Each structure stands twice: as C-alpha cells, then as structure tokens.
Structure 1
C-alpha cells in the first residue's frame, strides 16, 4: 500500500556554478530601483504572487534555488524553449536534467525583470507538493542582482539595486557570505566544534540544520545530548525522503557579531550543505545584499510561534482510501508521552469528526490556519483515534 506522508520541510538546492548561460540571462529595466512586494508565510514558506498576462501566478521565494516554472504555467504562457538544459538537485542529492525556457516578463512596481531563464519542473502539481499551490520558484539567478531586504514583521520583500538606508546606523550586523559550489549564499557559523558553512535558504521552512552525520559524535564528545530523536519525511523537488534527525540546544554560537544562545539546531543524518531557513531568519530583519555579498541581520522581538514550540513528534500518513494514520511516533516526545501509537487512525481533530480525508483535507491540516482541521504546532492538540476497533481520546499539550 502506497502511503503519502507529512511534508515537514521543502528545500530546493540547485548548483549553478557550471551554468553561466542561466546566470547571465535576464535584464532589469532600471539601473536604480527599489520596489517592494508582499509575501505570505505558508508553513513558514515565503509565497509571493505576481501578475503575468492578466493572471496571478504564485511563486516560492527561494534564495537556494534557480528560477522554476511548472509545466502547466509554461504551457499557459507559451514560453520559448532554450537550446540548453540544466541539472537540478534536491535535498536528497537526486539529480535530474531539466529543460530551460525564456521566462515571462515579471513586473514588480515600476520595474520589469525580463528574459530570465526558468527551469521546467513537472512535480510542482504533484501531491503533496500541490498543497502549496505553486506555479514556480523565484530563485537565485534573478535574486543575484538586487539587494534583498526581508521584513518578517510586515511580510514584505524589497528589491533594490542597493539598500536604500544605512544598515550600520539602523542596527544591522554585517556578515560576509560566499558561494561554495554555488548552492546558496553561505556564511560561517562558529561554536566549540569549530566552524562550518551555513547556507541562507528561504526555501527551507525550519531553522538551522546541520547536514553532517559526523556532527553527532562531535557534539557527544563536547558533552551535548540530543533533546529529541525522530524521523522526518522531507519534501524535495522529486518527492519525499526519510531522514533520521536529532534536536540539540546549543549555546554560544555566533554568526559574525550575532551571538546565538540556547538555539535549537537539528542534525540530520545525511551529507549535504548545512542550512538556515525561514524559522531562523524570521527572528531578524534581513538584508541579503547579493552584489556586495554581505548578509545583514538585525534581531527583532518575536512572539512564540509554532516553530519555537517543541515538535509533537509524529507524522500523519494519508492512505489511498482516505484513512489518516499516525506514524513515526518518536519515543519520549510529546505525542508518545500522551499515549499516541504508530498506526492509530485519526477520526477527529480538535473536536471535528472526520473518518475519511481527502488530499485537500490533508493539505489543510498543515497549511490553512483558518481551517478547523489545522493542527500545526500549538500548545494543545486534541485527537480522537481508532485503535484495534476501539475509540480513544488523546490530548497532546505543551507545558513550560
């Protein structure tokens, strides 16, 4: 039986260094400009909408990827295919060759971004990726030209040829970044373990992840014990992949002048670039000055939200016949402590009875805060499950 599993993280990583053609494509209509556009946070993914030929298209805003459009959008817009292709890599390292197209004209304020290449991606409309209702990705080959200011308090992105203010006098901390293998802008993070490179990736919804299996023994030798151990199903361009992960709370880390105390980090048992996603960046006003290769961070006060709360410690699987089953219930975590078990069938969420779930219901569970099925991390979750033919009520709650 095929089971489709909870989407926990989306990361698009596209090495671009060997593809001068795609990086050199594109024109911006003005030499001096500053334009803003709003974004929505959907499961901590930054989603922007742009009108193209009279229709709004929805893009993930992703500093760790190339520009992408769905095959459906390419067909609708009648885009012209380029003579060259690109190889795309997702979080699992899986590589596929993709066709490139001359992109549509994008208008943001009074500025036009034209002739940028877009890679075709045929999985954006596949479930569960379809939950995000994406038409494409705005990525590095467009974003490399401006200074990109992200205001998570206003949910606003500003693109400008140069930052319009004075970041030093405004309280920002400068951190130089580089492009090693051209995966994403990378900064150095320092701790007792030494230093490592950390990619700044707005296409990743959670916080800091170290993708170095050897970090487990390094932290153990330094006396750190994992707060939690569990399994996640991470959603990349080419589907879901399962990873064994550990959560740690580390003190006295620093990125440039920014000191991070009691910071939750995840160590993922796979080799790859370590990443800082929106769950980390949203604690700062952020400027990614691509032309100058400087990351500016200004700490902001932020109310406790879902990503700052402990994980419940379980996944939900949707079966082809619409049953919603629990899986990956992690020993010692909140769900396990409350008595949840693998294979429990969910028949009610927070008082809403439902024994058969559609794909749309599944999407709403994680992404639609206004929906009665929404269960993203909160301080209390009430479930009714069916276990061996018997009904059982389970309350999972977080206490400080």
Structure 2
C-alpha cells in the first residue's frame, strides 16, 4: 500500500512538473485597441483599469494624477530628453504592480510625466505609457490587424517562421531598440530607433541623414518634393523646434529582406542626428521583438502592398493639396497646390468627425477604380473625375 502511494505521489509530481512547464511555455495572447497604427493597452493598477499607449521609444510613464491617486512615493529624478532635443527633470517612482491581462510586473520604476493626448479626437484619454522594459526577457509579437499582442518565453513557442532577424542594439543604457535599415540599392545603412511613438510614420528622416544621402548621391534634389515651414509635432517634453523641413521621396527602403518602395517621408532635426522607424511599419506586417536574444523580425501580411506609390496624381495632407503631378489628369482638371479637398465619392470630408477621418482606411478608399473629387478653390468648385490606370501587361 505504501509503495503504491509512493508511486502515485511520484506520478503526480511528474505530471505537475510537466504541466507547469507547459503552462509557462504557452504564449499569452492579449487584445489591444488600435487607433490607426497606434496601440493602446488596458493596464491595471490596484484593480482599476487605465489606457496606456505602447511606445517602444520611451520608458514606462504614469501621469501625475495616477501618482497622487495611488499614493506613489517619489524615489528620485533624472534628466529626460525627447527626440526633438527638449529636456526636463523628471520625477521617478516605484509602481508596486502593473498588470496587463495575465502578465504582471512588480516594483516597476516609472517616470512621472503627463502623457501626450494624441487620441482625444476619439475621446480616449491616455493615462500612461507602456515601455519595452515591461517585457524584459520575453518575445513579443505585434499583429495590428488582429489587434493582438502575443507574449512568449522563446520565439520557438510562437510556432511560426518569421524569416531572418535583424540584430537589435541599445544606446545610452536605455531599453530603446535600434536596428539597421538600407536606402535604395546602396551600401549606405543607418542605425535607426524603432519607435511606435512616431505614430503613423513609416520613417522620420533626420535632416542629418538627408544631407548624407544627398552628399553620397543616393538621393538628389529631385527627391525633395516640398518644403515644410510649420511643424506642430510634439515630443514627450516639448514641441518640435525646427522651422524648415522637407517632404522627401525615397525610391527604396530596405528593412531586413523586404523592400519598401516609394515612401514619402518628412524630415526633422534629431537631437542625436539619427532617423526613426515608426509605427507605420505595423500596418504592413507582423513585428516580433525577441528581447531575449535582441532580434527584430518583420513578416508582411499576405496582401500587404509595400509600394507606397499613390495611385492618385495629387497629394493631400489634412484635406489640403500639397502636390500635383505635372501634366497629369488632375493638373489638366485644374487641381492646384493649396486647393481644399471637400468631397470624395459622395463623402463630405468636413462632415466626418476627426476620429472617423483618422481611423478610416484611406489607402483602400483611394485604391478604388473610379473616384469623383470636389475641390474648393478661390475661383469656386473644381470637379475631378479620377479613373485608375489599368496595370500594364508584361
């Protein structure tokens, strides 16, 4: 009897061991809210839920209101700099526990800072920022289309082939991921910050990098489409300080084994002279950050279009025409730089809420075969009936 009991106990212990190991190795899938290319998590502090913006270019931050509400003590301060070069002395505190679904991080050091409210147009208040240090030693997969974060203890447990990785590097002793990208067919590469805080941009090109690309004849002045004199972008601490920037056409941008064709990017004065790979890449495919082995993976969605060439023959921003192709049908119809786009296929743009405008899939909309545009000019309305060109046969 004692022998049977002993064997039973041993078997139960073995089963418990392997079950515990199995549970530890099963990836955790966590839903998140998507606003264009931005990720917002439901984070829990002492049983209450708050909106945290996921920002790979920042550390974890909680608002002063949350600090006061949960009685967090100040433990120190440090000099913080945002990517526009603005600096401030920031108070730090220790958060006893920060929960994300099944995950929990205890005694997490956080900065106390009022986060940017970039999503007020959708009535979403941001209470804090979630940085990568929350996932130290983990593997995270971001799928924007599904609105899912998958967290695993090793990339093999994701049971999917993500191709060849790019090595991640860190600078200034901070958990901020950097990786190499290549421009056009040249050997010129740049080590850029992967920053989901760059909202909708695929790339924020530093003015220093632009000058290098021009000097090395990788780009030329024909690639500079327009000059931007006013910038309203804001960093975590302050506003963008530069007054003159450019809209630049990049024929080819290579990230890992994939080529992104014809993106149009904006420049900025970077405090460390480097460019930023932004959240725009999340719209094109699944991103995996292996924070155990410091690797970056990108796997395009099956139907992802990596050619950014607009099917339209004009370019707008916030409803205003920025550029019209010479001798194009839009040009012949009288569309000019500065005109206001009011109606597109019956959709009155000024009657849409800002949230609707910001979250609508305009790429899919503008890929329709026929679109009727109505523009407003000083001389009245201009109607332009656009028809997409048929693809050329090989």
Q: Give secondary structure in 2 for the equivalent of 1:116.
A: strand
Unaligned 5+ runs, structure 2: 1-22, 390-394
Partner of 1:274: 275
Secondary structure, in 3 states, of the residue corresponding to 1:365? helix
1:48 pairs with one of 15, 37, 41:
41
The reply on whether 1:201 has 2:195 as its aligned counterpart is yes
Give deviations 1:196-239, integer Å, cap 9, x for gaps: 20222222222133322323414645668417335364343334
Residue 392 (str. 1) matches residue 381 (str. 2)? yes
In 2, distance between residues paired with 1:378 and 1:306? 16
Aligned partner (choices 202, 217, 228) of residue 214 of structure 2: 217
Query: Do 2:202 and 2:279's aligned partners in 1 also have CA atoms closer than 8 Å?
Result: yes
Indicate how the Cα distance of structure 1 residues 346 and 131 shifts in structure 2: closer, same or farther if over 3 A, else same. Answer: farther
Q: 1:305 to 1:39 in 2, by over 3 A?
A: farther
SS class of match (2:276): strand
Alignment correspondent of 2:247:
245
Q: Which runs of 5+ in 1 are unaligned?
A: 1-29, 317-325
Given the alignment, which residue of 335, 339, 343 partners 1:339?
335
- Deviation track 1:166-221 (CA, whole Å, cap 9, x = no partner) reads 77x72421221111234721122245142220222222222133322323414645
- State the shift of 1:387 in Å: 4.9
Deviations 1:344-364 (A, max 9, x none): 677767656697x8xx94444
Counterpart CA distance in 2 for 1:199 and 1:397 is 39
Between structure 1 and structure 2, the one with the greater Rg is 2
Which position in structure 1 is the counterpart of 2:62? 69
What is the CA distance between 1:138 and its match in structure 2? 0.7
Question: TM-score scaled by structure 2?
Answer: 0.70
Query: Whose helix fraction is larger, Structure 1's or Structure 2's?
Result: 2
Q: Tell me what 1:10 maps to.
A: none
| Aligned counterparts of 1:186 and 1:178: Cα–Cα separation in 2 | 5
Aligned to 2:286: 285
Corresponding position of 1:140: 132
Q: How many residues align?
A: 347
Which structure has more RCO (C-alpha within 8 Å, separation ≥ 6)? 1
In the TM superposition, 1:60-209 aligns within 5 A as: 60-75=53-68, 77-103=69-95, 105-122=97-114, 124-125=116-117, 133-165=125-157, 170-181=161-172, 182=174, 184-190=176-182, 191-204=185-198, 205-209=200-204
Q: Deviations over 1:56-104 (max 9, x none)?
A: 32222121111122334444x4241322123333332212222223336
Corresponding residue SS for 2:80:
strand
On the 8 A contact 2:324/2:335 being kept in 1, the answer is no
Asked if 2 retains the 8 angstrom alpha-carbon contact of 1:79 and 1:104, the reply is no
TM-score w.r.t. the length of structure 1 is 0.69
- Cα deviation code 1:314-354 (max 9, x no counterpart): 444xxxxxxxxx66834649998462553x67776765669
